[in-house]
Structure 1
Amino acid sequence: METSVFVVHVEPVLASRIFVHAKRLGMASQGYAWIVTSKCMNHLQNLKDYSSISENMQGFIGFRSYKMKGSKEFDMLQLMNFITQMVNFEIVNVLGTEGERRVGFWTGKFTNKLSHGFAHGRHLFSSSGFETIIWPGGTSTIPKGRRMQTSSKTLRIAVPKSNGFPQLLKVDIDLQANISFSGFCIEVFKAAMAGLEHKVPYEFVPFEYNKTHIGEAYSDLVYQVYLQKYDAAVGDITITSNRSLYVDFTLPFTDMGIGMVSRLTPKENQNLWIFLKPLTPGLWLTIVGVYVLSALFIWLIERPAPVEQQTGQSNGEIGRMFGFSFSIFVFAHWEKLSSNLSRSVVVLWVFVLFILGSNYTATLTSMMTVQQIEFNTGKSIVGRGAGPVAQGAIGNPNFPNSHSKSIRLTSLEEYVKALSEGSKNGGVSAIIEEMPYINVMVEKYPTRYSKVGHVMPTTNGFGFAFRKGSPIAHDISREIAKLREDGTLQRLENEWFKNPIIDFDSRNTSDSVNPLTVRDFGGLFFINGIFLAITCFLFLTSLLYKNIHVMKEWGRLVKQYICMKIFKNKRDANAVHPKLDNL
C-alpha cells in the first residue's frame, strides 16, 4: 500500500518541478489527492510558465490567502481582531488548461481564553455553499488516502499445512511436488482478494508445524507474520486479544463462540416410533397374547347370554368379546362383573399392567435423558480441541462440564471415533470446540451428532492475520462484510460444509439404554399363567357343577344311543344269517 494524498508546502519554483515529475510518474491520476498550501499557491500565478504548470495540476486543491470585504463574516472578524488572530483562505480547484474555480472559503482560528466563547476552532463557510471538487482523473469521488501498490512484489501468504479439518483448510502435495490449497478459508480469502479495486499478486506458502502442539504452532504462525517473514496468514486462525498485539486481524468470517456436540442415539433419529423402543418386539407380542387369553376368559365368564341362547348368533361374537373385555380392562368402573373369578382376573391383569407400565415409563425416560444426566454428573469424559481456546473452556466455571475429565483431540476422524465409542469404552460423551469445527462435524454427519446446550460467546471466530499497520487488512475486512451481505459466505459454507453422510452407527454405546425383554418379566408372566390356569379349572368345575342335570341328561341320551346302536348291529347280523337261529 502507498500514500495517495500529498500536501505541498514548498516554494513555487520547487513545487512546479514536483508537479511535472508527479504527472510523469502517474501520481496525478485518479485515486490521488494533492493539496497546495498558501505558501506556494499565493505566488504560483506569478511564474511565467504558470499555464504549463497548471496543466500538471488538474484536480489539485489550493489554499490562497483572501481578504473578505462587504460581508457579515468579515465585519465580525474585524471586530474580534484584537482578541483573535484570523487567517482567511480561498479554496480553489485547479482544472488544468481550463483554469481554476473557487469551491469555498476557510477560516483558521487560534483562540485564547477571551475569545473562547466566540470561536470553536476551524470551520468552512461560503456564501454560495461548498462546491463539488473535481479530483485528479476528472472524478468527484473522494480519494481514500491510500492506494494499492502496483509493484511486482508478490505477497507471501502463510497457510497451515494440516489442521485435521479438510473442509476448512487442506494443503495437498503430489508426487511432482505440486502444492494445491483448498477449503473454506482459502475460498473466502480468494473471494475477498478478487473484490479489491486494485489487484494484488499473492502466493500461498505452506507453514509446517508439529501437530501435537497446534495451539502453540498457530501462535508461532502469527508471530512469524509479526517478524515479517510472511505478509499475512490464512487459515482457521482464531482471533484473540494476545495475537492482536502482534498482527492486524480482519473481520471474522465464521461463527463466534464455543459449543458442545454429542452423539445422537437411535431414538433421536427415529423419534416417530420412540414409544415402541422401551420394549422388544417379543415382549410386545407376549403382552398382546396375555391380553387375548385374559379377554377370552373374562368373556366366557361374563358372556351376556347362556350357551343355549347363543346358537345362531356367532356373527360378531369375536368383536363383542374383545370390546367387552377391553371396556373391563380400561374402564372397569363402567362395567359390572358378576363373577369373582372374572374380578380376580382383572385384578391380576391390572397388577401386570402396573408393573409393565412403571418399567416402560422408566425405560423411556432413561432413553430420552440418559445423556443429559451423564453430562450433569460431571463424571463423563469430554473431548476438547487442540487449541488453547477449547482448553480454556474446560476450566471455565461458566461453561457446562467445566470439571469433567477431558481428552485432547486433533482431527475430525478422532472426534468421530471418540464419540462413537462413548465415555465408558475409552471415548468421550461430548466434545467442546469452537463453533466452526462443530458446524463442520454436524453438517457432515447430521444423523450421528447434534449440538448440545448453548453457545458460549467467548471467542471471536476466525480471521486473516496481516502485518501491523497493513492497510490491506481494512480492505479485506470490508470485502468480508460485502461477502456476508450478498450471501457469498453462506454459499461457500453450503458448498464446503453441507455434504452430509447419511448413515447411522446402530451399535450400543455407554450412552444407550437396553430395551426390556420377555426374560425380564418371565416370573411375572409365569405367575399370571399359573393363576389363569387355576382360575380356568375352577370355572370349568363350577360350570359342570351348575349344569350336572344337563350332564346326566346327556349321559342318558348317550346310553340310549349306544344301546340302539348295539341293537341295530345285532339285528342286521341276524338278517344276513337267518339259519343261525335253528342251530
Structure 2
Amino acid sequence: MDAAKDLITHHQKAQAIIGMQSWQEAVLAAEITSREKVPILSFSAPAVTPPFISSRWPYLLRMTKDDSLQIRCVADIIGFYGWQRVIVIFETDVYGGDSGILAFLSGALKNVSSEIEYPLAFPHFSSMSDPKTVIHDELNKLSSHQSRVFIVVQSSIELASHLFMEANKIGLMGKDTVWITTDSVASHLDTMNSSVLLSMRGVLGMKTYFTETSASFQNFSAKFQSSFRYRYPKEYKLEPGIHALRAYDTVAILAMAMKRLPKNSTSETLLETVASSRFNGLSGKIQFKDGELSSSPIYQIINIVQKSYIELGFWSQDSGFSQRIESNEHTRRNVERKKEVLDGRIYWPGGLLKPPTGWVMPTIKNPLKIGIPGRTAFEMFVKVEEGKKPTGLCIDVFDKAVKLLGYDLESYGFEAYNGSYDDLVNQVYSKKYDAVVGDITVLANRSNYVDFAMPYVESGLLMIVPIKPEGSHKALLFIKPFTWKMWLATGAIFTYTMFVVWFLEHRSNPEFRGPWRNQLGTTLWFTFSSLFFAHRERVGSNFSRIVILVWLFVVFVVTSSYTASLTSMLTVEQLEPNIESLKRSNSKIGCDGDSFVLKYLENVQGFDKKNIINVKNEYDYPDQFKSGNISAAFLELPYGKVFLSKYGKDYKAVETTQIFEGLSFAFPKGSPMAKDFSEAFLKLSEDGTIIQLDHQWFGNPTFEVSYIDTATDNQILDVDRFWGLFLITGATSTIVFLLYLIHLVGRYRRVESRDGNVSSRGESFWNRTRRLAVYYNKGSFNIRRGLQLHPVVNVKPLGALKPK
C-alpha cells in the first residue's frame, strides 16, 4: 500500500495500478486511488459483493466475479448427494473476518436441506508463526464431530498445502470422508508439488474454466512456457493458469485504452475507456458492469486422482451441471445432467468408489451420548435403575437397530434425564446429547429442532373411562330420546287420533258403545295398542280404516326412531363421561404431565388447566379413579394398550379423532443416523421383530375400543324432524272427520224429511246441534217438540193387516 501511495503521490507517474491479490489490499488501494482519481484493476473480488460498492470505490475495477456462484455450485453438489451436515474450513482475512462467505454458504446449504455443523477458521497464513502446529491442533478438534464432509471455501495455496498434508496424517482423508475445494485452491493445483497432490487424492474441486483451443491462447501459451522455462528451468509445470490469463488480459485492456486516448487525457477518461472495453480475452469475455466483469464464469468440476486430476464436467449459473460446454444440454433435465457429472465416475478419499456417507460412525473412542427418559409413567417402555442398564421396549428396539446397522455395541452410553419430554428433546438441539432414545412422540413443533427416525410404534390418543354397572342408568333415560316439544306434539296427535277414531266408530261399532267409561277405556286401549301393532278391536267404518292406516305408518316411523335413539343413548350411557360432558361438568381428568398430552388437552381440547391432574405412574390411575379424583384418563395409544391389558375388566377406551405420527427416536438436525434408523425400523417391522418385542414385553393384549358418537345431542329427536308426518296424519284425520260429519248431517236431514219432523225455523242453533248429537248417539228416532224422543216403531195401515 505504501508503494501504491508513493507511486501516486510522490512520483506522479502512475496513471493506473494493476494487482491486488486479496480483496483487503484492493480496498485499501481503492481508498487511496479514489482520492487521487487513479483507476485500479484488481485481480481479486469480495466473497460476497457488498451494496453500493461502485459508489464507494468508483475507481476500482474487478477482473473477476465474487464467490457467490461458487457457493451455489458447492450447495448443488451437497444437495445431490444428500449430505445433511458439513464442516466449513476457511482462512480469515488480515482483519480476522470471513468476508461474509460463511453466512452466504449457510443460506445456500439451507436450500438443499443441509447445514453447517462446525466452521473451522484459520488465521491468515502470514500471521501464523508455526503453521504446522496450528493446523494440526485445529484439525484434531474435528475428530469430535460426526460430519465428515469438509468444504474449503477460502484459502491461500500455502494454507491449503499444509492443511491437506496434516489431514492425511491424522486420518481425516480416509473412507467416508468428503473434501470439496473452491477455485481459490483448485485453480492453483498446477503449482502444487506431487506430495501435496498425493495427500489430496479423492478431493472434488471447481476451477474457473477457460478455453485452451483458441489460436490466441495457443500463441500465448507457447510464449509463456518458453519464458517460464527460461526463468525457472527446474519447474516442470509450465502451463499458464487462470491468474496468468487475467493478468495478461488486464495489461491488454490498459494497453488498448492508452492507445485510443490522446496524450493529455485525464484519469477519469482512462477509467471510462477501460470500463467500456468489450472484447474476448484469454480468460473469457471482457465487459464491465457496475465495476466488475458482467459475464458469469463457468466452473470445471475436477476430481484429484494420484498426482493429477480428471475433469468430470461443468457448472454454470444458467445451465447447472453439464458434460460439454458447446452442447445444448440445457434442454435436458438438470437431474439427468447431475447424474452424468457426479454419479459413478468419482474417486473418493480412501479409494472409495461409491459416494461416502459423509459422517463417522460411533466408536469406543468417540461414543454416542444418548439421553433417555429418567422417569416414565409406564416402565415397560423405559425403566431406569441405578447401577443397571436401562430396560424396556424402547431399549430393545434400539439395540436391535444398532446390531442391524453394524454399529459398535460399546460405542454409546445412556444418560437418564429427569425432565419433561419436550426438555429432553431440546437437549439434542442444544447438543448435550447425540440422540434421544425412548417413547418420544413425533410432533410438528419438535421436528423444528430435531430429526426423527420413522416411528416404530403407532400412536393416537385414548380416553379411558370406568365401565358403569348395568343398574346405574338414569331412571328417566327413557324420556331423553324426545325433546319436551316432541313429547307434547306426540301426545297431542295421539289424543286427536283417538278422538277421531272414537267418533267414527261410536255410532256403528258396538265395541265403542256403552257407558262413557267403557267407551273411553276402549278408545284409549285401541289407540295405545296400535303403537305396538297389538290392537284387537275391529273397525267397521271405511273412514276409520283410512285414519288408522295413516296413523300406523306414523307410529312405525316414530317408534323406530325412538328405539334407535334410546338404544344409542343406552350404549353411550355405558361409556360416559364423554369429552363434551367432562368439559361441561368441569370434571377432573388425568394424564401424564411430563408428556405433550397435558398441553394438548388444554390448548386443543379446551379443558381447564385446573381440571387436569398429573398422574405420574401407571399404577396410580386405578387409585385415582376409585377415589373419584378423576372421571377419565387420557393416554397415548401404546400406553392405553398396556393399561387396558391389565385393567380391561373395569375400564373401557374411547379413541379420539386425533392420530399422532407415532413413537420414535430423536437426532440432531441433519444427522445421517435418522435416515439409518428409519431404514432399520422398516426392516425390523417387515421381519416381525418389533411385533415379537411388543409381545415379549406386553404379551398379546387385546381390548375393545368403542367407536361411538359422543355428541349425544345429535341423538335427541325434535319435533322439527317429524312435523311432516304429524301434519299428514293430522290432516288425514281432519279431512276424514269432516267428510264423515257431512255424511252424518246429510243422513240426519233425510231422516227428518222422511218422518215429517222438520225443525222449526225459529229453533236456535244450539238446539239443532243437540238434536244432531242425540241422533248421532241414539241412532234412528222420532223428533218431537221438546226433544221428546222415542224409538221408531214400524207402523203399518190397518187395512194392510190380513187376518190369520
Scaled by the length of structure 2, the TM-score of the pair is 0.39
The answer (yes or no) to whether the contact 1:226–1:247 under 8 Å persists in 2 is: yes
Residue aligning to 1:155 = 368
Q: Deviations over 1:557-577 (max 9, x none)?
A: xxxxxxxxxxxxxxxxxxxxx
Residue aligning to 1:384 = 590
The structure whose RCO (Cα within 8 Å, separation 6+) is larger is 1
1:105 aligns with 2:314: yes
Q: Distance in 1 between matches of 2:426 and 2:196?
A: 49
Amino acid at match of 2:415: V
The answer (yes or no) to whether the contact 2:575–2:652 under 8 Å persists in 1 is: no
Label 1:185 to 1:382 Cα distance change in 2 as closer, same or farther (>3 A). Answer: farther
The answer (yes or no) to whether the contact 1:384–1:390 under 8 Å persists in 2 is: no
Superposed counterparts of 1:528-547, under 5 Å = none
1:182 aligns with 2:391: yes
Of 301, 304, 324, the match for 1:94: 304
The answer (yes or no) to whether the contact 1:380–1:404 under 8 Å persists in 2 is: no
The answer (yes or no) to whether the contact 1:36–1:63 under 8 Å persists in 2 is: yes
Label 1:77 to 1:138 Cα distance change in 2 as closer, same or farther (>3 A). Answer: farther
Amino acid at match of 1:5: F
The answer (yes or no) to whether the contact 1:106–1:123 under 8 Å persists in 2 is: yes
Label 1:18 to 1:181 Cα distance change in 2 as closer, same or farther (>3 A). Answer: same
Residue aligning to 2:99 = none
Of 361, 371, 390, the match for 2:574: 371
1:68 aligns with 2:266: no
Q: Deviations over 1:427-481 (max 9, x none)?
A: 6553222223213223455555443143324x55544455677665565456556
The answer (yes or no) to whether the contact 1:383–1:409 under 8 Å persists in 2 is: no
Residue aligning to 1:451 = 653
The answer (yes or no) to whether the contact 2:362–2:368 under 8 Å persists in 1 is: no
Q: Distance in 2 between matches of 1:147 and 1:17?
A: 23
Of 170, 179, 185, the match for 1:34: 179
Label 1:491 to 1:266 Cα distance change in 2 as closer, same or farther (>3 A). Answer: farther
Q: Distance in 2 between matches of 1:12 and 1:362?
A: 85
Q: Alignment partner of 2:355: what SS?
A: coil
Q: Deviations over 1:481-517 (max 9, x none)?
A: 6655665444433433344499xxxxxxxxxxxxxxx
Q: Distance in 1 between matches of 2:157 and 2:619?
A: 71
Of 116, 120, 124, the match for 2:322: 124
Q: Distance in 2 between matches of 1:362 and 1:121?
A: 69
Q: Distance in 2 between matches of 1:2 and 1:452?
A: 46
The answer (yes or no) to whether the contact 2:466–2:575 under 8 Å persists in 1 is: no
Of 624, 643, 649, the match for 1:441: 643
Label 1:36 to 1:256 Cα distance change in 2 as closer, same or farther (>3 A). Answer: same
Q: Distance in 1 between matches of 2:302 and 2:442?
A: 46
Q: Deviations over 1:258-294 (max 9, x none)?
A: 2212345799xxxxxxxxxxxxxxxxxxxxxxxxxxx
Residue aligning to 1:204 = 414
Residue aligning to 2:150 = 5
Q: Alignment partner of 2:352: what SS?
A: coil
Identity of aligned pairs, percent?
30
Shift of 1:184: 1.7
Q: Distance in 2 between matches of 1:106 and 1:374?
A: 66
Amino acid at match of 1:385: C
Amino acid at match of 2:694: E
Label 1:217 to 1:121 Cα distance change in 2 as closer, same or farther (>3 A). Answer: same
Q: Alignment partner of 2:389: what SS?
A: strand
Residue aligning to 1:314 = none
Q: Deviations over 1:309-328 (max 9, x none)?
A: xxxxxxxxxxxxxxxxxxxx
Q: Distance in 2 between matches of 1:81 and 1:485?
A: 62
Shift of 1:385: 1.0
Q: Distance in 1 between matches of 2:432 and 2:610?
A: 41
Amino acid at match of 1:455: T
Shift of 1:241: 6.4
Of 51, 56, 63, the match for 2:199: 56
Q: Distance in 2 between matches of 1:2 and 1:362?
A: 64
Q: Alignment partner of 1:181: what SS?
A: coil
Label 1:218 to 1:437 Cα distance change in 2 as closer, same or farther (>3 A). Answer: same
Q: Alignment partner of 1:85: what SS?
A: coil
Q: Distance in 2 between matches of 1:90 and 1:161?
A: 54
Gaps of 5+ in 1: 110-119, 210-215, 268-329, 334-359, 503-583
Number of paired residues? Answer: 384
Q: Deviations over 1:313-370 (max 9, x none)?
A: xxxxxxxxxxxxxxxxx9998xxxxxxxxxxxxxxxxxxxxxxxxxx99998886442
1:172 aligns with 2:385: yes
Q: Alignment partner of 1:104: what SS?
A: strand
Of 448, 464, 471, the match for 1:261: 464
The answer (yes or no) to whether the contact 2:465–2:652 under 8 Å persists in 1 is: yes
Label 1:100 to 1:406 Cα distance change in 2 as closer, same or farther (>3 A). Answer: closer
Shift of 1:92: 3.1
Label 1:13 to 1:476 Cα distance change in 2 as closer, same or farther (>3 A). Answer: same
Superposed counterparts of 1:86-485, under 5 Å = 86-96=296-306, 100-107=309-316, 109=317, 120=318, 122-126=320-324, 130-131=340-341, 132-148=345-361, 150=363, 152-173=365-386, 178-196=387-405, 199=408, 201-207=411-417, 209=418, 217-219=420-422, 221-222=424-425, 230-238=433-441, 252-263=455-466, 368-372=571-575, 374-375=577-578, 377-378=581-582, 379=585, 381=587, 383-387=589-593, 389-395=596-602, 398=605, 407-418=613-624, 421=626, 426=628, 428-444=630-646, 449-457=651-659, 461-465=662-666, 472=673, 476=677, 479-480=680-681, 483=684
The answer (yes or no) to whether the contact 1:442–1:450 under 8 Å persists in 2 is: yes
The answer (yes or no) to whether the contact 1:259–1:456 under 8 Å persists in 2 is: no
Gaps of 5+ in 2: 1-145, 218-278, 289-293, 328-336, 471-532, 537-562, 704-804
Q: Alignment partner of 1:492: what SS?
A: helix
Q: Deviations over 1:388-414 (max 9, x none)?
A: 643345546757x88996554332222
Q: Distance in 1 between matches of 2:209 and 2:661?
A: 53
Residue aligning to 2:269 = none
Scaled by the length of structure 1, the TM-score of the pair is 0.52
Q: Alignment partner of 1:255: what SS?
A: strand
Q: Distance in 2 between matches of 1:31 and 1:201?
A: 18
Of 166, 178, 181, the match for 1:21: 166
Q: Distance in 1 between matches of 2:661 and 2:612?
A: 23
Q: Alignment partner of 1:147: what SS?
A: coil
